[in-house]
Amino acid sequence: MAGDQLQVLNALDVAKTQWYHFTAIVIAGMGFFTDAYDLFCISLVTKLLGRIYYFDPSSASPGTLPPNVAAAVNGVAFCGTLTGQLFFGWLGDKLGRKKVYGMTLMLMVICSVASGLSFGHTAKGIVATLCFFRFWLGFGIGGDYPLSATIMSEYANKKTRGAFIAAVFAMQGFGILAGGIVAIVVSAAFKNHFDAPTYAVDRAGSTVPEADYIWRIILMLGAAPAALTYYWRMKMPETARYTALVAKNAKQAAADMSKVLQVEILEEQEKVEQLTMKEANSFGLFSREFARRHGLHLVGTTTTWFLLDIAFYSQNLFQKDIFSAIGWIPKPATMNAIEEVFRIARAQTLIALCGTVPGYWFTVAFIDTMGRFAIQLMGFFFMTVFMLGLAIPYHHWTTSGNHIGFVVMYGFTFFFANFGPNSTTFIVPAEIFPARLRSTCHGISAAAGKAGAIVGAFGFLYAAQSRDPTKRDKGYPAGIGVRNALFVLAASNLVGLIFTFLVPESKGKSLEEMSGENEEEQDTSSPAPYGRTVPV
């Protein structure tokens, strides 16, 4: 039987949608906007880095980053993100969400600027300093995942909490879009000013010295949105759930939320002491009690996020094939360096606009009516279907005249990733764990996702290489080919669908109801009612 809810938490749960909800979405969401911009803009300039720093005048094709260098440049931020998610997730439960939130943002601002200022006398030196700063940029981005999700979940009311957290995550789509638009604008400005010949006409002259500024400007502009929201982040009060249930300061929690909600809220220090002294509210992450109550939930959130990100981040494997096949990106030798950046940015922006962004907002619209479980199950199911739809008739899609169908199928896999597990795996871990472990458990779940991203983006980059040397990317060994890689990804999505059954439905319930923090003591030999793993 549930105990009496603290008045301050009940006030948050039943609050009507107010201005402060939208303020919190924008403040937390701008962090995610920056995260997406910083993580995805590197893919827009890697071809340019290859042309500038790995130019070979004797080669008939423009310079490209060697496989190990490409993996480092693209992947080092993911490694930083993984460690940042674990570290800042833990720190958010120890020091409070607000304090740590400021740290992550400043780290992102400093490292975004530093990435663009990467220095060195040789190609290796510049790439090494770029990777160093990209790692620490990722470290700051990693902290934003558990903190943004936890803050939004603890501020929201229970009726529209899913939509609010989803809206924060949906800013990622706008960040990806902004990265493409910035790259288009910057490259177009340089293209108009520096009319360079194509690589086939003049190998050395096709990359003007000023092209070195393009990638630096694109990377450094990632600092702008983060810097603009720093002041507002620091003005946000600490969440009442952390202040009351973790810091045990009922007076401060009541004062903060009275100001935010503009209602009178009573201090309930005695009730806070009673709640936090219960054995049910004192177990640690590595305790038997946590394993009994939330062990399967943590397995569910980590495995589904891991499996989703394998598929989600490996989808860029065949982007270049699509773009080349439908004529969005001509052969590299027929363009100069700046033109190539422009074409890549335009193609990726179109994909983001048509497939990526709409999926996020479908989740915002339907998550509190359909529920998290149904959306995640549906997303994994349709991702499996469309991956198989790409893989089984793969040779049909690659023949002339059938490329539009391939693009449509490819766009739908992105749509159902975002109107599906890419959104729900972010939302659910912020709702189902106790307040004192919420940020930590979200960080662990998110880190599992980034491990999947590393496997997807780089393991499959090698695995998807053709056995035919003429069709293989320069410098890569033979792999299993794109078609077989798509079958593996479809299987990964199917396994994700199965593990979704370990994740409970949190629609319409308070955070304390989901975590069991407001439950009366009961016989530990019987399963807890909040431990159920099926949707309701």
E-strand stretches of 336-456 = none
**Domain contains 334:** yes
Average pLDDT value for the chain: 87
Which range (375-389, 437-451, 479-493) has the least confidence? 479-493
The dihedral formed by the CA atoms of 494, 499, 505 and 510, expressed in degrees to the nearest 10: -130
Give phi and psi for 266, each to the nearest 5. Answer: -75, 145
The answer to whether position 4 is within a domain reads no
Statement: residue 529 has pLDDT above 50 = no
Structural domain includes residue 519: no
**8-17, 377-386, 436-445, 516-525: which has the minimum mean pLDDT?**
516-525
Instruction: With a cut of 70, say whether residue 3 has pLDDT above it.
Output: no
Say how far residue 258 (Cα) sits from the centre of its chain. Answer: 33
- The pLDDT assigned to 317 comes to 58
Residue 189 has pLDDT above 70, yes or no: yes
Mean pLDDT of 99-103: 88
Task: Assess if residue 279 is contained within a domain.
Answer: no
Q: What sign has the CA pseudo-torsion 100, 106, 112, 116?
A: negative
Query: Alpha-carbon Rg of the chain, whole angstroms?
Result: 24
Say if residue 27's pLDDT is above 80. Answer: yes
Residue type for 223, please? A
Q: Which domain holds residue 473?
A: 11-273+289-509
pLDDT value at position 130? 94
Is the pLDDT at 195 greater than 60, yes or no?
A: yes
- Assess whether pLDDT exceeds 90 at residue 114: yes
Side chain identity at residue 201, one-letter code: V
Candidate from 250-259, 373-382, 497-506 with smallest mean pLDDT:
250-259
Report if residue 431 sits inside a domain: yes
Looking at residue 121, the DSSP 8-state letter turns out to be S
Q: Does the residue 281 lie in any domain? A: no
* Residue type (1 letter), 498: I
Per the structure, the count of domains in the chain is: 1
Write down the number of H helices and E strands in the chain.
24, 0
Q: What is the pLDDT of residue 406?
A: 79
Name the percent of the chain lying above pLDDT 70: 92
> Is the per-residue pLDDT at 366 higher than 80?
yes
What's the pLDDT tens digit per position in 378-399?
999 999 999 999 889 888 877 7
Take residue 496 and report the two structure tokens written for it.
Answer: 């994700």
- The whole-number pLDDT of residue 518 equals 67
Q: What residues contact residue 212 under an 8 Å CB cut-off, 6+ apart? A: 52
Domain annotation covers residue 50: yes
Say what angle helices 97-116 and 223-235 make with each other, to 10 degrees: 160
Q: Decide if pLDDT at 2 tops 80.
A: no
- Output the six-digit token pair for 182: 């910035």
Structure tokens at 506: 């949190």
Tell me, what CATH number does 131's domain have?
1.20.1250.20
Nearest 5°: the CA angle 94, 424, 229 is 55
Q: What's the CA gap between 75 and 345, in Å, rounded? A: 19
Indicate if the pLDDT at residue 327 is higher than 70: no
Q: Is residue 183 part of a domain?
A: yes
Distance CA 173, CA 216 (A): 22
Going through 314-425 in order, the beta strands assigned E by DSSP cover none
- Per-residue pLDDT band at 109 (split at 50, 70, 90): very high
Task: Specify which of 20-24, 124-128, 403-407 reaches the highest per-range mean pLDDT.
Answer: 124-128
Taking only the tens place, the pLDDT of each residue in 230-275 is: 888 888 889 988 998 888 898 998 998 888 888 888 888 888 888 7
What proportion of the chain, given as a percentage, has pLDDT over 90? 47
Give CA–CA dist 495/300, Å, rounded.
11
